[in-house]
Structure 1
Amino acid sequence: MTGSSDPGPDRIPSTASEWDQVGTASDIQHPDPPQGPPARQRLHPLSPALHGAKSLVVVIAGLSWSTLSRVGFGWFVAMVIVLALGASVLAVVSWYYTGYQVVGRELRIHEGLLWRRTRAIPLERLQAVEVVRPLLAQLTGLAELRLEVVGGGKTEAPLAYLSVAEAAALRQRLLALAGDAPGAVPAAQAQPAPAGVESVPPPGRPLHSVSNRDLLISQLLTPQAFLLPFGVAFVAIQFLSEGSWSFIAVASTLTAMAGVLLQPVRRVLDDWRFQLARDGDRLRIRNGLLETRSQTVPLHRVQTVRVTWPLLWRMKGWLRLRLEVAGYAAGEADERNRPDRLLPVGDRPTGEMIVAEVLPGVALSSMPLRPPPTRARWVNPLSRQVLGAGLTEQVFAVRSGLLVRRLTIVPYARLQSVRVVQGPVQRLLGLATVHADTAGGAGAAAVDRDLADAWALAAELTARSRAARRAG
């Protein structure tokens, strides 16, 4: 019987060599314990200070100059301090109980003290991600992350505020998890943009940079700019007729003049240094002076492209391009909060180039647009010659507008529904309107088509939409 040097399961090793063969307890492989959800992340500690500063501005604006005249300067300052302190305390409490975490393919936002609330946002619904830096955020090196999702009437989950590096890394991670960019850089390897990089072109292949000079001229060629002298004259007449040069009168006059000048100035500030680039299957947009925006839009999320030719711009051959992305284009009441700019101002060749990047194979100069029948002049006597609708291989296009000419381009794969609508006058004339609805809610409408033509157009749109979805 031959002996064995290997220790059996019931035999205690007796030599040093046998102990070496068995090994130590640290060499034994144990299964990893199950991991729970990642830890909840808080916003930047300076967030309450920025929210408090914004609240202070709102408080002062809410009290108005008339309150100052009634209570006096001392009580006015005391009211501002008390209200600002209260708002700051609420901001600190809100920050302490607010956090976020990424669990699988879901972003969870936790907030609330007395009433706890958790919002779970599936990342497959993600449409666009913005990094926004208001003036105070720029001064403190912070940024705000805004997410736009399918079906949202407004921004779904504004995370205000994060550091610039954290906001950029989180944006990259969310887009990668959403599956919008195959082969996207993992969050751990992403190289976030450092603070103060707004003047650097966005990543990817540069497409176009808008001249600030053209931007200024374009705002001078608007009805608001032409009405500015009349508004200033009206304010000046009101000021002189009062016969009072008190502080309250001067402040009220300046406030009124600021309101008159606000809209064109705001547009210039919002679109300042506008830069557009393409990074794989995404658009990278950066713009803004006092409030900078860095936006990422996956191209396959684009629902509609709108081309606009304002009346006074047509003499210079300029146009404007806007996107419709499901979740925000039609949901925001304030135009400033709609991050849908594709080209604030540019000539036709530039517009052709950008449209071809967003919708490959689509050319603005070769749209087969057919006008409505002659009897439509009874419904649209002035704009009948401008109206038009047509189908190309990739898109459905509709033209409308008399003073401000518009062209709406809808890819077939983005159509959600097709409707044929007849009003009472249209029924008398044998006309109908064909509505092509998208997930963004606006879509396009071919107005006052012949009834038989309208039904044929609706059937063709339905068939092409079905085929495009199968191919995609």
Structure 2
Amino acid sequence: MPPVPGAAPGVGPAPGPGGVEPRQRLHPLSPFLHGAKSLLAIIAAMSWSTLSRVGLGWFALMVVLLLLGSLVLYVVSWYNTGYHVVGRELRIHEGLLWRRTRAIPLERLQAVEVVRPLLARLSGLAELRLEVVGGGKTEAPLAYLRIADAAVLRERLLTLAGRAGAPAVAPAGVPQGAPGPGMPAPGPAGVVPTKPVEVAGRDLHAVSNRDLLVSQLLTPQAFLVPFGVAFVLYQFLSAASFSFIAVASGLTALAGVLLQPVRRVVDDWNFRLVREDERLRVRHGLLETRAQTVPLVRVQAIVATWPLLWRAKGWLLLRLHVAGVSVGEGDSGGTDRLLPVGVPPTAQSIMNEVLPRVDLATLPLTTPPARARWLHPFAQPVMGAALTDEVFAVRSGPITRLVMVVPYARIQSVRVIQGPLQRRLGLATVYADTAGGPSAAAGSRDLREAWAMAADLTARARHARATGAAPFPTA
């Protein structure tokens, strides 16, 4: 039987009539898992005040009716949802009254993440999330699949994304139709094994859970815990009677204070970083386990952060930016983490895997002119910018120190911006923009230096894209 057009050899279902791969459905338990999540959302949306007004019996009846309605909608949605790979596109079909088909070109694929929430882990299922260029959120969440099916589909999509734009032929020395590295070999009659063959990776680092706990205790939120406890006690003592509403409101306030550090610990628990050929694999999570695969060629920038309270222990945080994946400092999930907490030698060893020849400790960063203190009275001494052979680096942050490095090949545009006060002082800010990722900003440079830096960045970016990131020739 001939392989599916555009599919990795030996991977994926057999083609149907006309040589088109048949459409696949999600796992039958998917509607029930979505319904269980909706139950928590329904209870939260109805609030404690509704319970106090209607009573426990009516409240339970309303929850059951809303849950049954949601479950029916999820079942209908599951029945009309399907996906398959056509050529070099992943197509997702969904909708009952309004049919919608999303075609995701695999050359835009930046990262693939296998997520296993608690209920999915109990059911032996997983969710596959795809991140693509230009997307501010997950483009194609497939929830839920069997673990083996999600792993096979992930390897297949990453293989196709790596081959995008290249002829679909086997490498030299590999027979046509033979499976690629890490791909399952076809069995008798072309049957594909359900369990994928894992590629042996090289462990880079495993974060100590003890260090992770201590790092989150050294945060402003942790220092606010006594105030949260005092607020809860005030609720108990000031209430006219010991009521359920007083207890709920007090616990809600305390949870709001503790939410971010607790979420970070839960998300980054058992954090492990593995190198597999030209990919990085990140595994982490306590209640919800995540396994993210990022091709190194998709890396847009790396940010090193030194929080104020971590400096006494010499700790820092490394974050990874991938095109189309926008994750802010306060976001959960940990999908942008390279190192949740660690010492400089560990961070440098990881940097050497992603951006060789880039040393965070020896970046030749220069500060803006002294007159920039009129605009940045506290930040000017720590602000800096540098153009090395491989990257554009900027530094900022008087309290939380931050260094961002951007490879020249990832720079999409360069801007020189002057505000009204900067014009008075003869200053300007140079921005280096990446594809759907962050912009590296060299703030308040001398005007002539800013224009020269912008011209140099443009030339280096053009040279890196044309030569495959070869070092820029210097006089």
Query: TM-score normalised to the size of structure 2?
Result: 0.88
Q: 1:64 aligns with which of 36, 44, 47?
A: 47
**2:316 is the counterpart of 1:319:** yes
Q: 1:231 aligns with which of 228, 232, 239?
A: 228
How far does residue 333 in structure 1 lie from its aligned partner after superposition?
A: 9.4
Matched ranges for 1:89-238 at <5 A = 89-179=72-162, 183-186=180-183, 188=185, 203-238=200-235
3-state SS of paired residue (2:18): coil
Aligned match of 1:352: 348
Q: Output one character per residue of 1:374-420: Cα deviation in whole Å (capped at 9) or x when no partner.
A: 11111111111100000111000000001000000000000000011
Higher alpha-carbon deviation: 380-389 or 180-189: 180-189
Shift of the 110–471 alpha-carbon distance from structure 1 to 2, 3 Å rule, reads: same
Matched ranges for 1:27-38 at <5 A = 35-38=18-21
**2:236 is the counterpart of 1:253:** no
3-state SS of paired residue (1:153): coil
Shift of the 64–188 alpha-carbon distance from structure 1 to 2, 3 Å rule, reads: farther
Determine the C-alpha separation between the residues in 2 that align with 1:231 and 1:140: 37
How far does residue 187 in structure 1 lie from its aligned partner after superposition?
A: 5.4
Which of the two has higher C-alpha Rg? 1
Determine the C-alpha separation between the residues in 2 that align with 1:180 and 1:351: 31
For 1:141, the aligned partner's letter is G
Q: Output one character per residue of 1:274-299: Cα deviation in whole Å (capped at 9) or x when no partner.
A: 00010000001000000000000000
Q: Is the 8 Å Cα contact of residues 16 and 22 (structure 2) preserved in structure 1?
A: no
Aligned match of 2:5: none
For 1:322, the aligned partner's letter is R
- Where does the alignment leave 5 or more consecutive residues of structure 2 unmatched? 1-14, 165-170, 172-179, 187-191, 469-475
Q: Is the 8 Å Cα contact of residues 172 and 187 (structure 1) preserved in structure 2?
A: no
Determine the C-alpha separation between the residues in 2 that align with 1:298 and 1:88: 37
Determine the C-alpha separation between the residues in 1 that align with 2:60 and 2:357: 62
Q: Is the 8 Å Cα contact of residues 202 and 276 (structure 1) preserved in structure 2?
A: no
Shift of the 205–333 alpha-carbon distance from structure 1 to 2, 3 Å rule, reads: closer
Determine the C-alpha separation between the residues in 2 that align with 1:375 and 1:409: 26
How far does residue 334 in structure 1 lie from its aligned partner after superposition?
A: 6.5
For 1:221, the aligned partner's letter is L
**2:22 is the counterpart of 1:39:** yes
Q: Output one character per residue of 1:80-123: Cα deviation in whole Å (capped at 9) or x when no partner.
A: 01000001111111110011001111000000000000000000
Q: 2:295 aligns with which of 274, 295, 298?
A: 298
3-state SS of paired residue (1:219): helix
Q: Output one character per residue of 1:337-389: Cα deviation in whole Å (capped at 9) or x when no partner.
A: 46111100000000111111110111111100000111111111111110000
Q: 2:238 aligns with which of 241, 245, 262?
A: 241
Q: 1:339 aligns with which of 318, 335, 342?
A: 335
Shift of the 203–336 alpha-carbon distance from structure 1 to 2, 3 Å rule, reads: farther
Aligned match of 1:277: 274
- Where does the alignment leave 5 or more consecutive residues of structure 1 unmatched? 1-31, 195-200
Determine the C-alpha separation between the residues in 1 that align with 2:292 and 2:16: 40
**2:382 is the counterpart of 1:399:** no
For 2:56, the aligned partner's letter is F
Q: Is the 8 Å Cα contact of residues 168 and 192 (structure 1) preserved in structure 2?
A: no
3-state SS of paired residue (2:162): coil
Q: Output one character per residue of 1:298-333: Cα deviation in whole Å (capped at 9) or x when no partner.
A: 001000000000001011000000011011135x79
**2:426 is the counterpart of 1:417:** no
**2:456 is the counterpart of 1:460:** yes
3-state SS of paired residue (1:305): strand
Determine the C-alpha separation between the residues in 2 that align with 1:110 and 1:139: 27
Determine the C-alpha separation between the residues in 1 that align with 2:295 and 2:94: 29
Shift of the 81–334 alpha-carbon distance from structure 1 to 2, 3 Å rule, reads: farther
Determine the C-alpha separation between the residues in 2 that align with 1:167 and 1:34: 25
Shift of the 180–218 alpha-carbon distance from structure 1 to 2, 3 Å rule, reads: farther
Give % identity. Answer: 69
**2:373 is the counterpart of 1:390:** no
Q: CA RMSD in A?
A: 2.0
For 1:100, the aligned partner's letter is Y
